[in-house]
Amino acid sequence: MLELRRLALLHQFAALGSIAAVAAATGYSASAVSQQLAVLEREAGVALLERSARSAALTEAGHRLAKHAATVLDAVEAAESDLADAAGDTTGRVVVSTIPTVAVAVAPHLVLIDGPQVVLRQYVDDEALERLRTREVDIAIVDVWDDAPPEPGLVRTTLMNDPLVIAGLLDHPTWLVAPADQPSRRVAEEVMTELGVQPDSRWEFMGLATIASLVAAGVGAAVLPQLALLHVDVPTTPTGRSRRIDAVIRAGSQVRPAVRAVIGALQELA
C-alpha cells in the first residue's frame, strides 16, 4: 500500500523540481524528504527518481506515479471537505495568499472571521498558484490583467474589478512604471500611447504600493489600480480600464465550510 504522506511529497517534488524546494515548502530537512521518497520507491517497487550527486529528477515511472498522486490527493481533499460540510465544521486552518494591494484592504477584516484560523501570506500570482497546487496555500487572491486561461483542478471566483487610474499629474515629466516583465507595465505603456504621453524619463519600480507612495511624494505620475491608492491622497484620472481580482481554490475544497466562509467574507468586502 502506498503511503499518502509520501505520495504528497512526490506530488510536491513533481511541482517544485527539487528535494531542497520540497524541504523548504514542508518544513522537513532535505535528508528527511530524500529518505521518505526512497521509502516510497521501495513501496512502489520501481525507481521514481534519477539521482546524482547534486540533483534528482523524476523517472518515467516517477512521472506516472506523480500524476496518480495528484488524483489521489484531490480525492482525499474532496472527501475531507465533504465530511466537514456534513458536520458543518467551519474550523481549521485556511492559508490565504494575497497580492500586496489587496492585503492592505482585506487583512484587517480577515482576522475577525469566526471559525477558520486564517493565515495570510504574500506571493506573486504565478508563485501563489503553484503553492495552491502543492497545497501550501488554500486560497490564492490574484490579479488578472488579461483573460485567464482555464486551469484544470482550480476554481476561480471573481471578487471585484479594480479600476485603473492615472495617479498624479498628466503633464508630469516623469512616469513611474513596473519592470518590463510585469503585466501592469504593458497596460501602462498602452495608456500612455493612447494619451500621447511621452515623458522625459521612466523610472522602474517593483511593487504598485511603492509606485503609489512615490506618486504621492510628487516624484512622478503612474497608471495604477485604485486599491494601490487606498492610503495615499493624489489626484486621479480614470482610464476606462480595470484589472480583475480573483480568488482561486482547488476544486476539491469547494465544499469545505472553512474555505467557503473565507471566500464569502472576501466577496462581502469586495
Domain identity same for 111 and 236? no
Amino acid at 123: Y
Query: In this predicted structure, what is the pLDDT of residue 198?
Result: 86
Task: Show the domain range for 79.
Answer: 4-84
- Residue for cell digits 466537514? 84
Condensed to tens digits (0 to 9), the pLDDT of residues 134-152 reads 999 999 999 998 877 778 8
Domain identity same for 174 and 193? yes
The residue out of 84, 111, 137 marking a domain boundary is 84
Mean pLDDT, the chain, whole residue set: 92
Q: Strands, DSSP E only, in 4-132?
A: 49-51, 56-58, 92-98, 116-122
Give the global pTM: 0.88
Domain identity same for 137 and 180? no
Domain identity same for 177 and 156? no
Which of these ranges, 4-13, 144-153, 197-206, 251-260, has the smallest mean pLDDT?
Answer: 144-153
Q: How many domains does the chain have?
A: 3
Give the integer Cα–Cα distance in Å for 270 and 259: 17
Domain identity same for 49 and 71? yes
Domain identity same for 76 and 22? yes
Q: Is 207 left (phi over 0), alpha (psi -120 to 50) or beta?
A: left
User: How is residue 191 annotated by DSSP?
Assistant: H
The residue out of 57, 84, 111 marking a domain boundary is 84
Mean pLDDT of 26-30: 90
- Residue for cell digits 501570506? 121
Domain identity same for 141 and 250? yes
Three-class DSSP category at 187: helix
The residue out of 33, 55, 84 marking a domain boundary is 84
Domain identity same for 168 and 208? yes
- Which CATH number characterizes residue 226's domain? 3.40.190.10
Domain identity same for 265 and 141? yes
Domain identity same for 107 and 57? no
Nearest to 168 by CA among 103, 81, 233: 233
Domain identity same for 211 and 80? no
Condensed to tens digits (0 to 9), the pLDDT of residues 52-105 reads 878 889 999 999 999 999 999 999 999 999 999 999 999 999 999 999 889 888
